[in-house]
Each structure stands twice: as structure tokens, then as C-alpha cells.
């Protein structure tokens, strides 16, 4: 990404990574990404850098800076967030100029110490702190968990520019630096929502708080750390409206329970039927998924929006089936922590599946209500009555702790 002049004193100095296809191991980046970084000049020729880039692109980034100013003339570095795709290059910068004053949140400064592994001139900012650098006024918004605990947004008051870090960003590498210059918005719109779903959605409450702070400012342009820069006020408004819609947590008037199961010979499914017969009479919203035919994403959405989660699997070779672990291993702990949970299943020899599923639930910080329910092979009528009593106790716990 070539150095680009955005305003008389504001430059883009970031880099492109068009060939990246997976970000953070799990997120697909079909169209690559960018690591956006910025340089701001004051009227007294003070130089401010906002965010670094990923290690591996350090030399290109430094060359971009040198097009505008010598490295030893950099005065300030703003660290919005210390995830390595933004901070990997900072160590080399500080080695070249140890006089740089570094600004960031308390957590960012603590993290950076363990990334650069050297002493540097750190300045901790608090929420709504304002620092003037000659004619450039920067306001700092602390927005934790959007999407790391250390994240801040830096607002350049005179220009109305919000340097938003990952907030309002997306993984999209294109020929256009500015959103207004994109020839088609189809890929942008998809990548924008996919980024929100993958990065921000576990933190809806924190996103709403960030939106509250953001909308109190007179933001005319939003420059995120990934993807095209939102350079038109109307597009900033559109982006905020989308986030506002997606970050809504729907209120319910009754509990929601999701059951996810798999059944090889129909024995575990008989337990599910006993559960359904009881729960459907209890003024509870119930969603049931057989993982042999259900789509994982649909299942995850309902689990994350439920008050309680029940998972069932027969025991094969001493464990639950892989398709059930795929569900559990796809859950985000931040989205499911505190949800009530239990497990059940039929077994032939040893019956370890239920206990193993409960262990995983505890790792996800769910509230495991009981020791689960195990029934050997095909449930008898008496055992199905036992299953009904078992689920009755579970539902009672969920209903007793449900609050509108």
C-alpha cells in the first residue's frame, strides 16, 4: 500500500496483505486484508504515528514512514490495540528511535512491554482524556473488548477523524484505499458483516457502549485498522446503524432452551422425545437440533441466544461423537458463560460421553446443573419416566433463575 495523503497533514502509511486467506487461525479472509496505519503532522512539525502493522511487513511500513519523515523525527506513537497484527512492527520502530512517546490504555502499555521486551516511554491514557500536540487535539475513548481488553479509539477533533482500531473494520484488500472509491460494495458489505460476526458479536454489550461513546463525537470520517477507510459522513452513519442493529440483545418474556444431540440407533433420540414432551408444556421456548442433519451455524446462534443448553450423545469407544464436540468446540466462552447446562446419552459398555461433555461445558464456564443422565442401551418406559423427572428438575432451575 503506497503512502497516501488523506488531508493536508494526515497520511496513510499502512500495508496490504492480499494473499492472506486465514486470519487468527479460524477466520477466512477470501479477499486478503490490510494493516492500516497513519501519520499525522502538527503545525510545529511534530510527527504522530497511529498504530503499527504486522511483523513481516515492518520494512515496508518503515519505508512508507520515511517517504514523509525520518524515523528519528517521530515524536509520538498511539497504540490503539496491541494484537500482533497491529503491534508486530513496533519493536523495530522503538529500536530505531527510543525517544518516541508511546500512548495507549493501561492494558495496552502492559501488553506492549511483553511484545517489544524493552523499556520505552509510556503514557497511559484514560477514558475521555484529551491531549494536545500543537494544533492537533486527540481524544481517547476506552472501549474494552472491542475486541481486546486494551482497545481504544483515537479521535482527531479538528478533523473529525476517528481512528477506530478494529471497530468498524473488515478484512478486505482492494485497489481502493477509500470506501468512496470502491467500484462495487458487494464484497465490502459481506466482509463488513462477516468481520462483525466473527470479531465483535461476542461482545454485544461492549459494542453498544462503544457506539454510545462514538456517536457522542462529531465523527466525519472513520479510519479502521483493516479494510477501506470510511471517508464519507453518510457511510460512517450507515456503518454505525449496522453495528447498532447487530448489537441488539433481544429481550425474551420466557426462557429459551436449546437441545443438541446425535443418535446412532435411536436410543438417545428416545431420551430427547421424553425431554420434548415435558418441556413443551412448560411455557419455555425450545429448539432441538439433530446434528446429523443440522447446520452448525444455525445451532451456534440458538445456543448463544439461549438461557440453557442440553447436549446428548451416545458413547462410542469411551467418548462422545465428534459431531457433538464440533459444536462444543465452536462455542465462544464469552457467549455461553453462565448458561445452564446438562448432558445425556445412551451407552452400551462404559458411558463416558456424558461426563466428558460436562467437563467441556465447565471449561466453557457454563453452569453445570447436575451429573447428567446416562441410560444403558434402549430406554425402558421406567427409564423414560426417569428422564422426564430429570428434565423436570433441570427446567425448574432454569425457570427459577430466569429474569426478563
Count of the separate structural domains present in the chain: 2
pLDDT digits (tens, 9 = 90+) for 340-360: 999 999 999 999 999 999 999
pLDDT at res. 404: 65
- Among the candidates 228, 246, 264, a domain finishes at 246
pLDDT at res. 195: 96
Tell whether 160 and 267 lie within a shared domain.
no
* Mean pLDDT, residues 73-93 taken together: 97
d(CA 229, CA 226): 8
Work out the number of other CB atoms within 10 angstroms of the CB of residue 183. Answer: 7
d(CA 173, CA 186): 13
Identify the domain containing residue 133 by its residue range: 4-246
Tell whether 60 and 38 lie within a shared domain.
yes
Running DSSP on this structure, what letter comes out for residue 197? I
Tell whether 220 and 286 lie within a shared domain.
no
Work out the number of other CB atoms within 10 angstroms of the CB of residue 180. Answer: 13
d(CA 332, CA 134): 44
pLDDT digits (tens, 9 = 90+) for 7-33: 999 999 999 999 999 998 878 999 999
Running DSSP on this structure, what letter comes out for residue 379? P
Work out the number of other CB atoms within 10 angstroms of the CB of residue 164. Answer: 30
pLDDT at res. 268: 98
Q: Is residue 57 part of a domain?
A: yes
* Mean pLDDT, residues 153-157 taken together: 98
Contact 166, 81 (CB under 8 A): yes
In this predicted structure, the answer to whether residue 220 has a pLDDT above a threshold of 70 is yes
* Mean pLDDT, residues 131-154 taken together: 97
pLDDT digits (tens, 9 = 90+) for 278-291: 999 999 999 999 99
Maximum Cα interatomic distance, the chain, rounded to a whole number of Å: 85
- What phi and psi, each to the nearest 5 degrees, are found at residue 217? -95, 160
pLDDT band at 101 (very low <50, low <70, confident <90, very high): very high
Tell whether 222 and 262 lie within a shared domain.
no
Contact 294, 326 (CB under 8 A): no
Burial per residue of 266-287, b for 16 or more beta-carbon CB atoms within 10 angstroms, e otherwise: ebbbbbbebbeebbeebebbbb
pLDDT band at 90 (very low <50, low <70, confident <90, very high): very high
CATH code (residue 90): 3.60.15.10
- Cis peptide bond N-terminal to 147, omega within 30: yes
What is the value of pTM for the model shown? 0.87
d(CA 219, CA 258): 41
Amino acid at each position: 500500500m503506497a503512502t497516501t495523503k488523506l488531508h493536508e497533514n494526515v497520511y496513510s502509511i499502512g500495508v496490504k496483505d492480499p494473499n492472506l486467506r486465514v486470519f487468527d487461525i479460524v477466520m477466512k479472509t477470501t479477499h486478503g486484508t490490510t494493516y492500516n496505519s497513519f501519520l499525522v503532522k502538527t503545525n510545529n512539525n511534530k510527527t504522530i504515528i497511529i498504530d503499527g502493522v504486522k511483523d513481516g511487513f515492518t520494512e515496508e511500513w518503515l519505508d512508507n514512514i520515511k517517504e514523509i519523515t525520518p524515523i528519528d523525527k517521530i515524536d509520538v506513537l498511539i497504540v490503539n490495540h496491541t494484537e500482533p497484527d497491529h503491534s508486530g512492527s513496533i519493536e523495530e520502530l522503538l529500536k530505531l528511535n527510543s525517544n518516541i512517546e508511546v500512548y495507549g490504555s493501561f492494558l495496552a502499555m502492559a501488553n506492549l512491554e511483553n511484545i517489544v521486551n524493552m523499556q520505552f516511554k509510556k503514557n497511559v491514557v484514560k477514558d475521555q482524556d484529551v491531549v494536545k500536540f500543537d494544533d492537533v487535539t486527540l481524544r481517547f475513548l476506552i472501549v474494552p473488548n472491542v475486541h481486546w481488553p486494551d482497545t481504544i479509539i483515537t479521535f482527531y477533533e479538528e478533523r473529525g477523524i476517528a481512528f477506530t482500531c478494529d471497530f468498524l473494520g473488515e478484512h478486505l484488500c482492494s485497489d481502493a484505499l477509500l470506501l468512496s472509491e470502491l467500484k462495487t460494495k458487494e464484497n465490502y458489505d459481506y466482509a463488513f458483516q462477516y468481520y462483525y460476526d466473527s470479531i465483535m458479536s461476542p461482545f454485544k454489550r461492549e459494542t453498544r457502549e462503544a457506539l454510545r461513546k462514538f456517536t457522542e463525537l462529531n465523527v466525519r470520517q472513520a479510519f479502521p485498522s483493516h479494510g477501506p477507510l470510511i471517508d464519507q459522513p453518510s457511510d460512517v452513519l450507515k456503518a454505525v446503524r449496522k453495528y447498532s442493529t447487530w448489537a441488539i440483545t433481544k429481550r425474551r418474556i420466557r426462557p429459551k432452551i436449546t437441545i443438541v444431540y446425535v443418535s446412532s440407533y435411536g436410543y438417545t433420540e428416545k431420551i430427547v422425545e421424553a425431554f420434548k414432551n415435558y418441556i413443551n408444556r412448560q411455557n419455555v421456548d425450545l429448539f432441538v437440533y439433530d446434528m446429523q442433519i443440522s447446520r452448525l451455524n444455525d445451532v451456534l446462534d440458538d445456543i448463544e441466544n439461549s438461557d440453557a443448553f442440553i447436549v446428548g450423545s451416545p458413547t462410542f469407544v469411551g467418548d462422545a461423537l465428534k459431531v457433538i464436540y464440533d459444536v462444543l468446540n465452536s462455542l465462544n466462552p464469552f457467549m455461553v458463560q453462565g448458561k445452564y447446562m446438562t448432558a445425556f446419552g445412551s451407552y452400551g459398555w462404559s458411558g463416558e460421553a456424558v461426563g466428558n461433555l460436562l467437563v467441556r461445558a465447565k471449561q466453557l464456564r457454563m453452569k453445570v446443573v447436575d451429573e447428567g443422565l446416562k441410560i444403558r442401551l434402549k430406554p425402558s418406559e421406567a427409564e423414560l419416566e426417569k428422564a422426564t423427572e430429570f428434565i423436570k428438575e433441570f427446567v425448574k432451575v432454569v425457570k427459577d433463575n430466569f429474569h426478563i
